[in-house]
């Protein structure tokens, strides 16, 4: 709690300075904290303060952008007549359905403008709003009965969330961190601040913990770093609900090399269709043909944030293991972004659909997949999501279904994603034409080459009749009736008379 109080005071000081913060003020803050703790603790606290202020600033900018977009969308719909239909070509949105809805949206517009004015004032002044410990937990203090907590239990959680016990690593120092030191056997020792030096139970003002720690995930990589005295940052936090203490180790890794697209796709690709509750995957060879059976990796997004994060990591781990087993070196995913698609103004009263796309973990899935794939030397290829589900179901769902295999719409969409990453069109290759009759021979395939423009659009309808002959009055010499008579004279302009037949030859 001592370091937590120092971190809270430093964050308040940084927030008061706002946009007037500079290197000189940072040095003054760090000097004051050094006298009360140590230089290393002061560096960790000020760095955490800067990161937290910057995060709040980015959130404020995102909130301001969202408010502007909402105000513009509502104003555009309020300007339209009631029950007016949308016109995409003219850039017109639809109007509201009823007069009551129009009135409610007008009231909401004024509320959003007031909120935007407050956010704009905070942005101009460099003022951010941060609650150490979390705003949700702070509000729970006023609703203890509804949360099923008493005051003592809430205060324990509040202290645990506001506690600060983290230290950055230093390369060249013993075991990679001079403040929080962990040996290869799991023994933890902490360099106490100057005000708490009388509590030390080891030499040089250090406090040695009786419990040991172990890192199951990437433990060997952590052991290699501390053996070579490379920087490792640690964070110690207390889980009140489980009654356990956890140590988190982190370090900076070298940037993963970016493979050329052709090299990444040389062994095919695994197309992935992201859905609300599962990942649909199918392996494709270099020619765009599906190989093997479709794969599905389910996850449950209900419950706490830690549970949802664990479900996503488990599904992505299974996907990466499948990719390595099948020999592919790349995974194709859709570049989805539902940040602007979850608003009421875009989907109206369709609450079920808005709730569905709101819980899509697109950003978290992409970030997790990119970082986890770098560990397995697997490339990630992001493609456009336009019409992958519709065209995949149209061209691939029925042909691949068998009595022993059920192909869903999502499985077919994964094939569409993979083919688009490989540079092929989504349409299937047709069978060769028959050669038994000359008038039945046609084009061999409807698949366009990758360099063909507009190859993924619908095929243009050829003008004119479908037969090769021209209808009456449509030919090149339609106005020249004499050219249509083989005798050389128009039949309509002379009297017709049959010659007498000879009686004998």
Question: Does the pLDDT of residue 258 top 90, yes or no?
Answer: no
**pLDDT: which is higher, 493 or 380:** 380
In Å, how far from its chain's centre is CA 229?
Answer: 36
**pLDDT: which is higher, 421 or 488:** 421
What is the C-alpha separation between 436 and 214, in angstroms, rounded?
74
- Average pLDDT of the segment spanning 317-328: 92
Question: Does the pLDDT of residue 374 top 60, yes or no?
Answer: yes
- Residue 30: strand, helix, or coil: helix
Render pLDDT for 48-87 as a digit per residue (tens, 0 to 9): 999 999 999 999 999 999 999 999 999 999 999 998 998 8
Question: Does the pLDDT of residue 452 top 80, yes or no?
Answer: no
- Residue 331: strand, helix, or coil: strand
Spatial CB neighbours of 159, under 8 Å, sequence gap ≥ 6:
1, 4
The string over 460-470, giving b where at least 16 C-beta atoms fall within 10 Å of a residue's C-beta and e elsewhere, is eeeeeeeeeee
Instruction: Point out the least confidently predicted range of 38-42, 93-97, 438-442, 486-490.
Output: 486-490
Render pLDDT for 198-248 as a digit per residue (tens, 0 to 9): 888 888 889 999 889 999 888 899 999 999 999 999 999 999 988 899 999
Question: Does the pLDDT of residue 505 top 60, yes or no?
Answer: no
- C-beta of residue 7 within 8 angstroms of C-beta of residue 45: yes
Render pLDDT for 87-137 as a digit per residue (tens, 0 to 9): 888 888 888 889 999 999 999 999 999 999 999 999 999 899 999 988 999
What pLDDT is stored for residue 75 in this prediction?
A: 93
Extract the runs of DSSP E, i.e. beta strands, from 169-261: 180-182, 187-191, 206-212, 233-239, 244-250
pLDDT band at 37 (very low <50, low <70, confident <90, very high): confident
Render pLDDT for 335-354 as a digit per residue (tens, 0 to 9): 876 555 555 666 566 666 66
pLDDT band at 369 (very low <50, low <70, confident <90, very high): confident
Global pTM value: 0.71
Spatial CB neighbours of 266, under 8 Å, sequence gap ≥ 6:
286, 329
Beta bridge partners of 245: 238
Helix locations, 126-228, DSSP H:
135-140, 144-147, 151-162, 219-227
**Could you tell me which CATH class the domain 261-422 is placed in?**
alpha beta
What pLDDT is stored for residue 247 in this prediction?
A: 93
- C-beta of residue 207 within 8 angstroms of C-beta of residue 200: yes
Closest among 370, 381, 219 to 284, alpha carbons compared? 381
- The torsion of the CA quartet 214, 220, 221, 227, rounded to 10 degrees, works out to 90
- C-beta of residue 250 within 8 angstroms of C-beta of residue 233: yes
Question: Does the pLDDT of residue 413 top 80, yes or no?
Answer: yes
What pLDDT is stored for residue 481 in this prediction?
A: 45
Looking at the chain, the domain(s) classified CATH 3.30.420.140 span 261-422
What count of residues does the chain have? 505
From first CA to last CA, the distance across the chain in angstroms is 131
What pLDDT is stored for residue 349 in this prediction?
A: 64
């Amino acid at each position: 709690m001592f370091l937590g109080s120092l971190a809270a005071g430093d964050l308040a000081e940084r927030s008061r300075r706002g946009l007037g913060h500079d290197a000189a003020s940072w040095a003054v803050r760090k000097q004051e904290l050094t006298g009360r703790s140590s230089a290393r603790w002061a560096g960790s606290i000020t760095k955490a303060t800067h990161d937290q202020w910057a995060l709040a600033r980015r959130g404020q900018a995102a909130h301001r952008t969202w408010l502007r977009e909402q105000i513009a969308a509502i104003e555009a719909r309020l300007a339209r007549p009631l029950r007016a239909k949308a016109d995409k070509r003219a850039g017109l949105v639809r109007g509201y359905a009823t007069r009551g809805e129009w009135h409610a949206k007008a009231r909401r517009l004024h509320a959003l403008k007031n909120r935007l004015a407050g956010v704009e004032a905070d942005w101009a002044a460099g003022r951010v709003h941060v609650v150490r410990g979390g705003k949700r937990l702070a509000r729970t203090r006023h609703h203890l009965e509804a949360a099923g907590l008493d005051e003592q239990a809430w205060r324990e959680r509040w202290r645990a969330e506001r506690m600060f016990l983290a230290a950055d690593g230093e390369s060249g120092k013993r075991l990679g961190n001079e403040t929080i030191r962990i040996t290869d056997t799991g023994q933890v020792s902490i360099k106490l601040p100057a005000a708490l030096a009388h509590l030390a139970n080891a030499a040089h003002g250090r406090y040695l913990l009786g419990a040991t720690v172990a890192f199951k995930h990437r433990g060997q990589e952590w052991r290699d770093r501390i053996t070579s005295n490379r920087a490792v940052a640690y964070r110690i936090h207390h889980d009140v609900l489980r009654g356990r203490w956890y140590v988190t180790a982190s370090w900076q890794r070298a940037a993963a090399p970016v493979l050329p697209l052709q090299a990444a796709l040389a062994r095919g690709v695994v197309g992935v269709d992201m859905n609300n509750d599962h990942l649909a995957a199918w392996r494709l060879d270099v020619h765009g043909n599906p190989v093997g059976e479709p794969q599905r990796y389910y996850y449950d997004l209900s419950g706490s944030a830690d549970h949802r994060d664990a479900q996503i990591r488990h599904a992505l781990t299974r996907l990466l293991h499948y990719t390595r087993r099948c020999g592919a070196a790349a995974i194709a995913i859709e570049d989805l972004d539902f940040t602007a698609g979850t608003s009421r103004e875009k989907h109206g009263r369709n609450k079920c659909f808005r709730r569905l796309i709101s819980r899509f973990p697109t950003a978290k899935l992409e970030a997790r997949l990119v970082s986890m794939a770098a560990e397995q030397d697997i490339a990630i290829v992001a493609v456009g999501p336009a019409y992958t589900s519709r065209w995949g179901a149209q061209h691939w769902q029925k042909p691949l279904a068998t009595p022993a295999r059920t192909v869903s719409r999502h499985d077919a969409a994964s094939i569409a994603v993979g083919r688009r990453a490989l540079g092929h069109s989504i349409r299937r290759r047709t069978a060769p034409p028959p050669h038994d009759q000359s008038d039945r021979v046609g084009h061999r395939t409807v698949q366009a080459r990758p360099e063909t423009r507009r190859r993924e659009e619908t095929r243009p309808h050829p003008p004119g009749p479908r037969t090769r002959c021209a209808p009456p009055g449509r030919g090149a010499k339609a106005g020249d009736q004499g050219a249509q008579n083989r005798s050389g004279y128009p039949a309509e302009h002379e009297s017709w008379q049959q010659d007498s037949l000879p009686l004998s030859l």
